[in-house]
Amino acid sequence: MSFTQQLRRDTAQLRQQILDMPFNRDLAAGTLPQEVFRGYIVQDAHYLEGFARALAMAAAKAPDADAVAQLAGSAIKAISVERGLHGEYMAQFGVSAEEYEATEISEACDHYVSFLLRMVATDDFAVGLTALLPCFWIYHEVGQKIAAEAVPGNRYQAWIDTYASEDFADGVQRMLELIDRTAAASSDATRARMQRSFARSCWHEWHFWDSAYHMRGWLAPDAEPSAKRMPAIAE
Protein backbone atom coordinates (compact mmCIF):
# COMPACT_ATOMS: atom_id res chain seq x y z
CA MET A 1 0.00 0.00 0.00
CA SER A 2 1.40 3.40 -0.97
CA PHE A 3 1.49 6.28 1.50
CA THR A 4 -1.33 8.13 -0.27
CA GLN A 5 -3.43 4.95 -0.34
CA GLN A 6 -2.97 4.81 3.41
CA LEU A 7 -4.09 8.43 3.67
CA ARG A 8 -7.22 7.54 1.70
CA ARG A 9 -7.96 4.56 3.96
CA ASP A 10 -7.43 6.52 7.18
CA THR A 11 -9.82 9.32 6.15
CA ALA A 12 -12.39 7.23 4.26
CA GLN A 13 -15.30 7.99 6.60
CA LEU A 14 -14.79 11.75 6.59
CA ARG A 15 -14.26 11.84 2.83
CA GLN A 16 -17.50 9.94 2.31
CA GLN A 17 -19.29 12.45 4.52
CA ILE A 18 -17.94 15.22 2.28
CA LEU A 19 -19.25 13.47 -0.84
CA ASP A 20 -22.68 13.12 0.80
CA MET A 21 -22.95 16.71 2.06
CA PRO A 22 -26.14 18.62 1.21
CA PHE A 23 -24.07 21.24 -0.64
CA ASN A 24 -22.73 18.65 -3.05
CA ARG A 25 -26.00 16.74 -3.42
CA ASP A 26 -27.88 19.95 -4.21
CA LEU A 27 -25.13 21.08 -6.60
CA ALA A 28 -25.49 17.86 -8.58
CA ALA A 29 -29.26 18.26 -8.68
CA GLY A 30 -28.96 21.88 -9.77
CA THR A 31 -31.12 22.88 -6.80
CA LEU A 32 -28.45 24.59 -4.72
CA PRO A 33 -29.82 28.09 -4.04
CA GLN A 34 -28.03 30.72 -6.05
CA GLU A 35 -27.37 32.85 -2.98
CA VAL A 36 -25.59 29.88 -1.36
CA PHE A 37 -23.44 29.25 -4.43
CA ARG A 38 -22.81 32.99 -4.75
CA GLY A 39 -21.49 33.15 -1.20
CA TYR A 40 -19.43 30.01 -1.74
CA ILE A 41 -17.79 31.37 -4.90
CA VAL A 42 -16.75 34.58 -3.13
CA GLN A 43 -15.25 32.66 -0.22
CA ASP A 44 -13.61 30.12 -2.52
CA ALA A 45 -11.96 32.93 -4.48
CA HIS A 46 -10.53 34.26 -1.21
CA TYR A 47 -9.43 30.73 -0.33
CA LEU A 48 -7.73 30.08 -3.67
CA GLU A 49 -5.65 33.22 -3.29
CA GLY A 50 -4.39 31.94 0.06
CA PHE A 51 -3.97 28.43 -1.33
CA ALA A 52 -1.85 29.77 -4.19
CA ARG A 53 0.36 31.59 -1.68
CA ALA A 54 0.79 28.36 0.30
CA LEU A 55 1.71 26.48 -2.88
CA ALA A 56 4.27 29.16 -3.75
CA MET A 57 5.76 28.92 -0.26
CA ALA A 58 5.95 25.14 -0.57
CA ALA A 59 7.67 25.53 -3.95
CA ALA A 60 10.32 27.70 -2.30
CA LYS A 61 11.04 24.91 0.21
CA ALA A 62 10.97 22.05 -2.32
CA PRO A 63 14.08 19.83 -2.39
CA ASP A 64 14.55 19.68 -6.17
CA ALA A 65 13.88 21.65 -9.33
CA ASP A 66 11.10 19.34 -10.56
CA ALA A 67 9.10 19.81 -7.36
CA VAL A 68 9.70 23.58 -7.49
CA ALA A 69 8.34 23.72 -11.04
CA GLN A 70 5.35 21.50 -10.23
CA LEU A 71 4.24 23.46 -7.17
CA ALA A 72 4.86 26.85 -8.72
CA GLY A 73 2.82 25.75 -11.73
CA SER A 74 0.00 24.62 -9.45
CA ALA A 75 0.04 28.03 -7.75
CA ILE A 76 -0.38 29.71 -11.14
CA LYS A 77 -3.27 27.37 -12.01
CA ALA A 78 -5.01 28.13 -8.71
CA ILE A 79 -4.95 31.84 -9.51
CA SER A 80 -6.09 31.07 -13.06
CA VAL A 81 -9.15 29.22 -11.73
CA GLU A 82 -9.93 32.10 -9.39
CA ARG A 83 -9.76 34.62 -12.23
CA GLY A 84 -11.50 32.45 -14.80
CA LEU A 85 -14.17 30.18 -13.38
CA HIS A 86 -14.89 32.34 -10.34
CA GLY A 87 -14.84 35.50 -12.39
CA GLU A 88 -17.44 34.00 -14.73
CA TYR A 89 -19.77 33.10 -11.89
CA MET A 90 -19.25 36.39 -10.09
CA ALA A 91 -20.27 38.22 -13.24
CA GLN A 92 -23.28 35.91 -13.63
CA PHE A 93 -24.42 36.55 -10.06
CA GLY A 94 -23.62 40.25 -10.08
CA VAL A 95 -20.65 40.25 -7.71
CA SER A 96 -18.54 43.30 -8.52
CA ALA A 97 -14.81 43.52 -7.84
CA GLU A 98 -15.59 46.11 -5.16
CA GLU A 99 -18.11 43.82 -3.46
CA TYR A 100 -15.68 40.92 -3.55
CA GLU A 101 -12.90 42.97 -1.97
CA ALA A 102 -15.29 44.30 0.68
CA THR A 103 -16.65 40.87 1.63
CA GLU A 104 -15.11 39.62 4.85
CA ILE A 105 -13.41 36.25 4.73
CA SER A 106 -15.53 33.72 6.60
CA GLU A 107 -14.35 31.97 9.73
CA ALA A 108 -14.08 28.65 7.89
CA CYS A 109 -12.08 30.16 5.03
CA ASP A 110 -9.80 32.11 7.36
CA HIS A 111 -9.05 29.08 9.52
CA TYR A 112 -8.35 26.82 6.54
CA VAL A 113 -5.98 29.26 4.85
CA SER A 114 -4.25 30.06 8.13
CA PHE A 115 -3.75 26.36 8.79
CA LEU A 116 -2.21 25.76 5.36
CA LEU A 117 0.13 28.73 5.60
CA ARG A 118 1.21 27.69 9.09
CA MET A 119 1.90 24.11 8.05
CA VAL A 120 3.91 25.16 5.00
CA ALA A 121 5.81 27.92 6.79
CA THR A 122 6.63 26.27 10.11
CA ASP A 123 6.80 22.51 9.53
CA ASP A 124 8.90 20.31 7.28
CA PHE A 125 8.35 20.50 3.53
CA ALA A 126 6.75 17.03 3.59
CA VAL A 127 4.18 17.99 6.23
CA GLY A 128 3.19 21.25 4.57
CA LEU A 129 2.97 19.55 1.20
CA THR A 130 0.59 16.90 2.51
CA ALA A 131 -1.65 19.55 4.06
CA LEU A 132 -2.16 20.92 0.54
CA LEU A 133 -3.28 17.58 -0.94
CA PRO A 134 -6.98 17.50 0.09
CA CYS A 135 -7.79 20.60 -1.94
CA PHE A 136 -6.61 18.74 -5.04
CA TRP A 137 -7.80 15.25 -4.24
CA ILE A 138 -11.15 15.87 -2.58
CA TYR A 139 -12.23 18.46 -5.13
CA HIS A 140 -11.56 15.98 -7.92
CA GLU A 141 -13.48 13.23 -6.13
CA VAL A 142 -16.40 15.60 -5.57
CA GLY A 143 -16.24 16.80 -9.17
CA GLN A 144 -16.29 13.24 -10.51
CA LYS A 145 -19.20 12.19 -8.31
CA ILE A 146 -21.25 15.26 -9.17
CA ALA A 147 -20.46 14.90 -12.89
CA ALA A 148 -21.88 11.37 -12.79
CA GLU A 149 -25.06 12.56 -11.08
CA ALA A 150 -25.59 16.05 -12.49
CA VAL A 151 -28.91 16.81 -14.11
CA PRO A 152 -28.90 17.98 -17.76
CA GLY A 153 -28.64 21.74 -18.09
CA ASN A 154 -27.19 22.12 -14.60
CA ARG A 155 -26.62 25.81 -13.92
CA TYR A 156 -23.34 24.91 -12.21
CA GLN A 157 -21.98 22.81 -15.07
CA ALA A 158 -18.86 24.95 -15.59
CA TRP A 159 -17.84 24.34 -11.96
CA ILE A 160 -18.51 20.61 -12.33
CA ASP A 161 -16.56 20.36 -15.58
CA THR A 162 -13.52 22.11 -14.08
CA TYR A 163 -13.05 19.68 -11.22
CA ALA A 164 -14.08 16.53 -13.11
CA SER A 165 -11.74 17.29 -16.03
CA GLU A 166 -8.81 15.17 -17.18
CA ASP A 167 -6.55 18.20 -16.83
CA PHE A 168 -7.43 18.53 -13.16
CA ALA A 169 -7.05 14.76 -12.71
CA ASP A 170 -3.53 14.96 -14.13
CA GLY A 171 -2.62 17.61 -11.57
CA VAL A 172 -4.02 15.47 -8.76
CA GLN A 173 -2.04 12.43 -9.92
CA ARG A 174 1.19 14.42 -10.05
CA MET A 175 0.57 15.67 -6.51
CA LEU A 176 -0.08 12.12 -5.27
CA GLU A 177 3.15 10.90 -6.87
CA LEU A 178 5.13 13.77 -5.35
CA ILE A 179 3.78 13.02 -1.89
CA ASP A 180 4.49 9.30 -2.23
CA ARG A 181 8.09 10.08 -3.21
CA THR A 182 8.43 12.55 -0.37
CA ALA A 183 6.97 10.13 2.16
CA ALA A 184 9.36 7.38 1.03
CA ALA A 185 12.31 9.65 1.83
CA SER A 186 10.90 10.78 5.20
CA SER A 187 11.27 9.39 8.70
CA ASP A 188 8.49 7.54 10.52
CA ALA A 189 7.95 10.59 12.74
CA THR A 190 7.60 12.87 9.73
CA ARG A 191 5.18 10.50 8.02
CA ALA A 192 3.04 10.50 11.16
CA ARG A 193 2.90 14.32 11.05
CA MET A 194 2.06 14.12 7.35
CA GLN A 195 -0.91 11.88 8.18
CA ARG A 196 -2.14 14.32 10.83
CA SER A 197 -1.83 17.35 8.56
CA PHE A 198 -3.72 15.56 5.79
CA ALA A 199 -6.53 14.54 8.13
CA ARG A 200 -6.83 18.06 9.49
CA SER A 201 -7.02 19.54 5.99
CA CYS A 202 -9.75 17.01 5.12
CA TRP A 203 -11.69 18.32 8.12
CA HIS A 204 -11.19 21.89 6.90
CA GLU A 205 -12.60 20.86 3.51
CA TRP A 206 -15.73 19.56 5.25
CA HIS A 207 -15.94 22.68 7.42
CA PHE A 208 -15.60 25.01 4.42
CA TRP A 209 -18.48 23.40 2.50
CA ASP A 210 -20.65 23.10 5.60
CA SER A 211 -20.07 26.77 6.39
CA ALA A 212 -20.87 27.78 2.80
CA TYR A 213 -24.10 25.75 2.76
CA HIS A 214 -25.34 27.35 5.97
CA MET A 215 -23.95 30.78 4.96
CA ARG A 216 -22.02 31.15 8.20
CA GLY A 217 -19.74 34.05 8.92
CA TRP A 218 -18.17 34.49 12.34
CA LEU A 219 -19.80 33.33 15.58
CA ALA A 220 -20.93 36.35 17.60
CA PRO A 221 -19.84 36.42 21.28
CA ASP A 222 -23.46 36.24 22.47
CA ALA A 223 -24.56 33.54 20.02
CA GLU A 224 -25.75 30.16 21.17
CA PRO A 225 -23.11 27.46 20.62
CA SER A 226 -24.00 25.02 17.88
CA ALA A 227 -25.19 21.61 18.98
CA LYS A 228 -24.18 20.13 15.67
CA ARG A 229 -21.82 17.19 15.89
CA MET A 230 -18.83 17.68 13.62
CA PRO A 231 -17.12 14.76 11.89
CA ALA A 232 -14.15 13.35 13.76
CA ILE A 233 -10.76 13.25 12.13
CA ALA A 234 -7.98 10.73 12.52
CA GLU A 235 -5.10 11.88 14.67
Residues 149-173 pLDDT 10s: 999 999 899 888 888 889 889 999 9
pLDDT for 218: 87
8 A C-beta contact, residue 45 and residue 90: yes
pLDDT above 90: residue 19: yes
Cα distance between residue 224 and residue 194, in whole Å: 35
Percent of the chain residues topping a pLDDT of 90: 70
List, by residue number, the catalytic residues.
Answer: 205
pLDDT above 70: residue 50: yes
pLDDT for 93: 76
185-235: per-residue pLDDT in tens? 999 999 999 999 999 999 999 999 999 999 998 877 765 655 444 454 444
pLDDT for 219: 78
Average confidence (pLDDT) over 75-92: 77
8 A C-beta contact, residue 133 and residue 201: yes
pLDDT above 70: residue 75: yes
pLDDT class for 119, splitting at 50, 70, 90? very high
Cα distance between residue 105 and residue 211, in whole Å: 12
Higher per-residue pLDDT: 6 or 91: 6
Query: Does CATH number 1.20.910.10 belong to domain 3-213?
Result: yes
pLDDT above 70: residue 1: yes
Average confidence (pLDDT) over 53-64: 96
pLDDT for 229: 45
Higher per-residue pLDDT: 99 or 226: 99
CB crowding 69-83: b at 16 or more within 10 Å, else e: ebbbebbebbbebbe
pTM summary value: 0.90
Higher per-residue pLDDT: 54 or 167: 54
Each domain of the chain, given as residue ranges in start order, spans 3-213
pLDDT above 90: residue 31: yes
Pick the closest to residue 126 from 218, 170, 191, 204 (CA basis).
191
Cα distance between residue 217 and residue 98, in whole Å: 19
Share the mean pLDDT of the chain: 90
8 A C-beta contact, residue 24 and residue 209: yes
Helix (H) or strand (E) holding 74: helix 65-92
pLDDT for 225: 55
Q: Which of the 8 DSSP states describes residue 150?
A: P
pLDDT for 81: 72
